[in-house]
Amino acid sequence: MNTPENFSSPQDPFPTASSNTPQTLLIDPNNPPWKLWAAALAWFSSIVFLWLVPQFCALPYIATHYRASGGPTKEILLSDKTFILILVAGFIPAHLLTLLLAWAIASRFGKFSAFKTLGFSWPANFGLWKSAATAVGLFLIAMAIIYKFGGQDTDLERILHSSRAAAIVTAFVAAATAPLVEEVIYRGLLYSALQRAAGVVAAIAIVAMTFAGLHVLQYWPNFGAIATISLLSVVLTLVRARTGRLLPCYIIHLVFNGIQSVIIVGEPYFRSLFQTPHPDAAPAVLHLLKLL
């Protein structure tokens, strides 16, 4: 199965500093040096950061740009391309704060290697190419689901359509920070603590539903996109349970989001390439460009 690495303290993942006898424990991502409440705190904080930090970033712009008008309405702000761009860019510092908190919990402020406690290494049975192939396969299934079921415009699509700059920043966040942050929080901190406290089956169910459920708000009411993110959530959590490692999950998530980011950045060029006088030309690609 998986080979644990050296940790410290035999039965208790929280060794006391007063212990006079140096003890050795195997580092096992399924027996992490944090408890469930700490993982839940990191999860809740990640949501709060995503909600508050972008708004704080936008406050100076609102204060200066709308000073004479006495304050903008929600409708005005949602039609302001600069405001939306600032909000999207605000996800970057929110993700960085989340990673800092996750590092503090996973490493106990530097006492352990966060990479080892989170399982950021390759298992013997699931390497780079298998992870990448899984991501590509999931993306092809996502294309079929979205083409078949489609759905209405989502908040994410409205952001992408607000301006070219917002689309590019969204693509950057989707590929550069979101996969790492989400995997560390959900399949790293939360899954590890849950499977120790409630068992593997309960951990898979709770983490998969929590991850998918949070994204339902982002993709509502596009049922095709909701089905896709639910499938991704289940597969990622099953891979984490099967391999005992976080790195394959991160690579799958990274490649999956990376393909979408390439499509977002290249959307104007792809659209002109695939749009022909025939309405049925490359339907799956056209629908994907519209809905992702």
pTM of the predicted model as reported, rounded to 2 decimal places = 0.85
Confidence of residue 248 (pLDDT cuts 50, 70, 90): very high
Q: What are phi and psi of 27, to 5 degrees?
A: -70, 120
In tens, the pLDDT along 249-265 reads: 999 999 999 999 999 89
Taking the alpha carbons at both ends of the chain, their separation in whole angstroms is 37
Contact present, 104 and 185 (Cβ < 8 Å): no
The helix/strand/coil state of 150 is: coil
The CA distance from 223 to 229, in Å, is 10
Which are the contacts of 272, defined by CB distance < 8 A and separation ≥ 6? Answer: none
The CA distance from 229 to 220, in Å, is 11
C-alpha dihedral sign at 102, 3, 31, 187: positive
The CA distance from 161 to 179, in Å, is 22
Contact present, 194 and 36 (Cβ < 8 Å): yes
Predicted confidence (pLDDT) at residue 203 exceeds the cutoff of 70: yes
Q: Which residue type sits at 162? A: S
In tens, the pLDDT along 205-219 reads: 999 999 999 888 778
157, two tokens:
């699509």
**What DSSP letter does each residue of 182-239 carry, written as one string?**
HIIIIIIIIHHHHHHHH-HHHHHHHHHHHHHHHHHHHHTT-HHHHHHHHHHHHHHHHH
Contact present, 125 and 66 (Cβ < 8 Å): no
Q: What are phi and psi of 5, to 5 degrees?
A: -120, 170
Predicted confidence (pLDDT) at residue 16 exceeds the cutoff of 70: no
Does an H or E element contain 61, and which? Answer: helix 36-65
Predicted confidence (pLDDT) at residue 192 exceeds the cutoff of 50: yes
Q: What are phi and psi of 26, to 5 degrees?
A: -80, 130
Which are the contacts of 268, defined by CB distance < 8 A and separation ≥ 6? Answer: none
Position 274 scores a pLDDT of 63
In tens, the pLDDT along 26-46 reads: 788 999 999 999 999 999 999
Closest CA to 166 of 265, 19, 44, 36: 265
The CA distance from 86 to 206, in Å, is 33
